A and B are shown apart, each in its own frame.
Chain A
Amino acid sequence: MAEAVTDVLAQVRRWREAGKGVALATVVGTWGSSPCQAGSHLAVSEDSGFMGSVSGGCIEGAVVTEALQVIADGRPRQLEFGVTDEMAWSIGLACGGKVQIYVERVE
């Protein structure tokens, strides 16, 4: 089959080849009923395009916002989302799980 449009790393390469800044978010830890398993990727381009998933949709918006910062300053960072998060009622996980995400710039 042809390369799937859902192939996140292939999309990262296409963005980089187009000269766009790209950040890659990866689920590095989960607790409870988090929908995405460890290793799940969300790639973000400097113009806010994104591909992949780290939560099934609950926190993608917040991760994209952080990823844009990572593209800008190049500093990798770790994010944590869950019901105990102070912003839980706005960007937390409805499933009650907790997820730890690592965001890095693709050089």
Chain B
Amino acid sequence: MKRDHLEQILAAQAQKRPIALATRLADGGQSLYDGATCTGAVALSAEQLAEAHGLLVAGRSASLAASRGAIFLRSYAPPAKLVVIGAVHIAQFLAPMAALAGFEVIVIDPRRAFATEARFPGVTLVTEWPGPALARIGLNDHTAVVTLTHDPKLDDPALCAALQSPVFYIGALGSARTHAKRIERLREHGLAELAPRIHAPVGLDLGGRAAAEIAVSVLAQVIQERYRRAPR
């Protein structure tokens, strides 16, 4: 691998841009592919480019069938994003766990007493209200949204935004009773029919009650939903 290619891959990762390295296995010739153009020693045919594009979008690495296995494409996809509403106790466990699992984590909470660097060292904190914050962050199909505040003023705007977006996961902390009331509030926004997209009570039922255990159950469910939708 050329040093220049390494630097370009690392730069793309830092900027959350997808990029792939195509390697001709017979002689080690390599090209970079950014989803639009392919530059380097290996020229890809139109058919191979189409296949590479599909792999890069899906974040998958594989030998190109259109090259009969002669060219290997290593995709470096940007990480999936986990947006957490509420800089609460559970979030203090969920944020670092999700980062270790490869997610880009953003914690939103306008209550500055909660959203502090001391409570969330190294975590991206946003102290805007969830509505404008989510509009700015952008919700796409590589994003998961989890609400943890228990406060409708904070949770509801986030859920409304998430329900009207293609995010791959929506979870809301709270009991079944709390969720029933939540659905009634969503009905006022005309979103009750979309409410089945919300995982509530949030997380896989692992039986744990401690904050760290709930964080594991939420992260496990997010990962499960991510791969339920993606080809394995």
Interface set of A (CB-CB < 8 Å, partner B): 1-2, 4, 9-10, 12-13, 16, 24, 26, 28-29, 37-39, 76, 78, 102, 104-107
Contact = CB atoms under 8 A, between A and B. Distances in A.
B204 interface: no
A46 B191 CA distance: 59
A39 B61 contact: yes
Contacts of A78: 25
Contacts of A12: 6
Interface string B15-36: 0000000010101100000000
A1 B107 CA distance: 12
B63 A28 contact: yes
B168 interface: no
Contacts of A106: 1, 3, 6
A1 B63 contact: no
Contacts of B123: 1
B99 interface: yes
- For chain A, what secondary structure do more than half of its interface residues adopt (helix, strand, loop), or is it mixed? mixed
Interface residues of B, number: 27
A102 B13 CA distance: 22
Given A38-B61, A107-B1, A9 B6 contact: yes
A40 to B, nearest CB: 8
Residue of A16, A29, A38, A105 contacting most chain B CB atoms (<10 Å): A38
In the complex, which of the residues B28, B96, B100, B124 has the most CB atoms of chain A within 10 Å of its own CB atom? Answer: B28
A28 B22 CA distance: 11
Interface of B: 1-3, 6-7, 9-10, 13, 23, 25, 27-28, 60-63, 69, 72, 74-75, 96, 99-100, 105, 122-124
A77 B129 CA distance: 54
Contacts of B25: 28, 78, 102
A12 to B, nearest CB: 6
Identify whether the interface residues of B are mostly helix, strand, loop, or mixed.
mixed
A-B pairs with lowest CB-CB distance, top 8 = A39-B61, A76-B28, A1-B99, A28-B72, A38-B61, A1-B122, A106-B1, A39-B74
Given A9-B13, A12-B6, 15 more contacts: A1-B99, A1-B123, A2-B122, A9-B10, A13-B10, A26-B23, A29-B63, A38-B60, A39-B60, A39-B61, A39-B75, A76-B27, A102-B72, A104-B1, A107-B1
A107 B61 contact: no
A37 B122 contact: no
Contacts of B60: 38-39
A107 to B, nearest CB: 5
A37 B102 CA distance: 15
Nearest to B59: A39
Contacts of B72: 26, 28, 38, 102
B1 A38 contact: no
Given A38-B62, A39-B61, A104 B10 contact: no
B2 A37 contact: no
A107 B122 contact: no
A75 to B, nearest CB: 8
Nearest to B105: A1
A63 to B, nearest CB: 16
